[in-house]
Amino acid sequence: MSAVLVGTSHGTDDPAGQAAVRALLDGVRAARPELDVREAFVDVQQPEVGEVLAAAADDAGSAVVVPLLLSTGYHVRHDIAQAVAAVNGSGAGPAVAAEPLGPHPLLVDILADRYAAAEAAHGPFRSDDAVVLAAAGSSVAAAATAVEEVASALAQRLGRPVTPSYGAGAEPRVPAAVTAARAGGATARVIVVSYLLAPGYFLDRVLEAGADIVTDPVSGPARAEKADPRLVQVVLDRYDAAVSS
């Protein structure tokens, strides 16, 4: 029996964000019908990751937590790590934690497409438009390093500078990055590329940060019925790597 995949997101009160995560896990189930895929959360929603992981390991003998988070941080290093350690300590495992979803080349592909969709909707972007990448952020230094890696890759893809920014935990914060982009006076517009998995608290704050244009999050438009297959593949890549490690 394959290890259960426990897709673990932050959790949100936003119905559109909840739907986006469900659609992602439904996409994983469709791509691997033989795989037992269960949903868990580290905050806001239930059931908690520890509860789901313990049941999965007991049912199948092994389980993999795939963080549905775009970079490492407290939830990966504390909540998920503690849940895995508790299951393994109980003798019910083995349980392992996969790497978070980012950085990953397919995520850069998705971000470039979200940028292109915004350009199609708002007219051609000019060379003096500024581009800011908005991530949730974390006080863990490795998280900012990962976001900087994605920003650099996206800049190469777009052929223009991309400034990383954060909703919390690291600097610059998104409003400060937007303000700094306007400071020279030459910038025509500020375009924020949302490096956020789905609608929710951080996307709401990004929308309030003063940018002229904000792209859809990684999961896509709020009313998308199916998950982006590339995002599904990222989840499966993380699962497969954890199983084979």
The answer to whether residue 219 sits within a structural domain is: no
Say yes or no to pLDDT of 83 above 90: yes
User: In one letter, which amino acid is 144?
Assistant: A
Average pLDDT over residues 124-128: 93
Residues 143 and 166 in one domain: yes
Average pLDDT over residues 191-199: 97
Phi, psi for residue 64 in degrees, rounded to 5: -125, 125
The answer to whether residue 149 sits within a structural domain is: yes
Where does the pLDDT of residue 123 fall: very low under 50, low under 70, confident under 90, or very high at 90 and above?
confident
Say yes or no to pLDDT of 102 above 80: yes
Residues 166 and 237 in one domain: no
Residues 109 and 86 in one domain: no
The answer to whether residue 81 sits within a structural domain is: yes
Q: How far apart are CA 209 and CA 72, in angstroms?
A: 24
Where does the pLDDT of residue 68 fall: very low under 50, low under 70, confident under 90, or very high at 90 and above?
very high
Q: Which domain holds residue 43?
A: 4-102+224-244
* pLDDT (0 to 100) of residue 58: 93
Q: What CATH number corresponds to the domain at position 193?
A: 3.40.50.1400
Global pTM value = 0.95
Residues 110 and 94 in one domain: no
Residues 80 and 115 in one domain: no
Asked if residue 194 lies in contact with residue 209, where contact means CB atoms within 8 angstroms, the answer is: no
Residues 143 and 71 in one domain: no
Q: How far apart are CA 226 and CA 219, in angstroms?
A: 9
The answer to whether residue 91 sits within a structural domain is: yes
Residues 120 and 171 in one domain: yes
Q: How far apart are CA 159 and CA 153, in angstroms?
A: 10
* Residue of 83, 73, 55, 24 whose CA lies nearest to 236: 24
The answer to whether residue 190 sits within a structural domain is: yes
* pLDDT (0 to 100) of residue 40: 98
Q: What is the pLDDT of residues 157-188, one digit of tens each?
A: 999 999 999 999 999 999 999 999 988 665 68
Average pLDDT over residues 145-168: 97
* pLDDT (0 to 100) of residue 186: 55
- Total domain count for the chain? 2
Average pLDDT over residues 47-68: 96
CA dist 217 → 89, 117, 225, 227 (Å): 37, 12, 14, 12
